[in-house]
Amino acid sequence: FVMGPGVSSAQDAFSGHYTPLSYSGTTIVEYMFYNMDDESQNLKVYVKYVANNFQLTWNGEPMGASVSVSAEFIVGELVFNPIVRNSTDSTLKVKVRRTNLIVVEGSENYFQWVLPYEDSTNVSIEYLEMAPGASTEVDLFSGHYKPNGNAGTTSVEYTFFDIDYEIIYQKFVVNYTSLPDAIDESILKGVHFSAIYPNPAINFVNLNYTLVPGVKSASIRISNILGTVVSETNLNLNSNSTHVDVSQLDGGIYFYSVILNGERLSTKKLVIR
């Protein structure tokens, strides 16, 4: 293709095509544009093609391969109830397989797919027929975790698969975390934290708070969806508000935790645009 100086190609002069053939996963392809008379004049472009047979959406946001769900120790049950979408161009008969990867001793977990199942069930008995592009109703699928008073993180893998062609599947890992309730009750009665705002955020978030003399340290910790801490801001104990810069974080779903005297008080979702 002959190109004069400063000339741009037509929109459809070049195109890359990827056919997943019902396989999920990521394929990375390198395309190199070069001068055939002098190959040192070149430009390399890497394109990542991601094929997902199923897509999960939670609270209106698309999920990645894993998600963290956290709550205070006193919460009796954690529930993960995304909407499930058939992203293929075929009608699928979908079942769910649960695999316990890491389990906190003394905890329980179960799931619902069309019907609720006992803690001992790993593969759903019922299947759901899903047309191409179809999505489930709210709460048709849900993962349930009962810490039963035990602190720690339980990791559960849910695999959605077609019963006729099990090569059509998608795996998602949910990390359920129950938090230690080690903050003095007299402190809990006196402190107050607003929700972070604005949420969704772009460059900055704000938080208003009230502390009491028993608070020795306080911070706001932001983690990504994999649970990795990406930011932590210490709070001024003599103030009642803070301003946190989030402009360096990529857009997506995060979780922010209030840390009081070294213990996690609460965890909530933060969306960054």
CATH no., domain 54-178? 2.60.40.2310
| Per-residue pLDDT tens digits for 69-98 | 877 555 678 999 999 999 998 999 999 999
Confidence of residue 54 (pLDDT cuts 50, 70, 90): very high
The pLDDT score that the predictor gives to residue 148 is: 83
Looking at every residue in the chain, the average pLDDT score rounds to 88
Q: What are the residue ranges spanned by the domains of the chain?
A: 16-51, 54-178, 185-272
Asked, colleague to colleague, whether 54-178 and 185-272 share their fold, the answer is: yes
Confidence of residue 64 (pLDDT cuts 50, 70, 90): confident
Top-tier CATH class for 185-272: mainly beta
Confidence of residue 50 (pLDDT cuts 50, 70, 90): low
The pLDDT score that the predictor gives to residue 76 is: 79
Examine the pLDDT at 20 and tell me if it is beyond 80. no
Examine the pLDDT at 179 and tell me if it is beyond 80. no
Render the chain in DSSP notation, one character per residue: ----TT----TTSS------TT--EEEEEEEEEEETTEEEEEEEEEEEEEE-SEEEEETTEE--SEEEEEE-TT-S-EEE--EEEE-SSS-EEEEEEEEEEE--TT-EEEEEESEE--TT--B-S--EEE-TT-BPPTTSEEEEEE-TT--EEEEEEEEEEESS-TTSEEEEEEEEEEPP--S-HHHHHH-EEPPPBSSSBSSEEEEEEE--TT---EEEEEEETTS-EEEEEEPPTT-SEEEEE-TTSPSEEEEEEEEETTEEEEEEEEEE-
Confidence of residue 120 (pLDDT cuts 50, 70, 90): very high
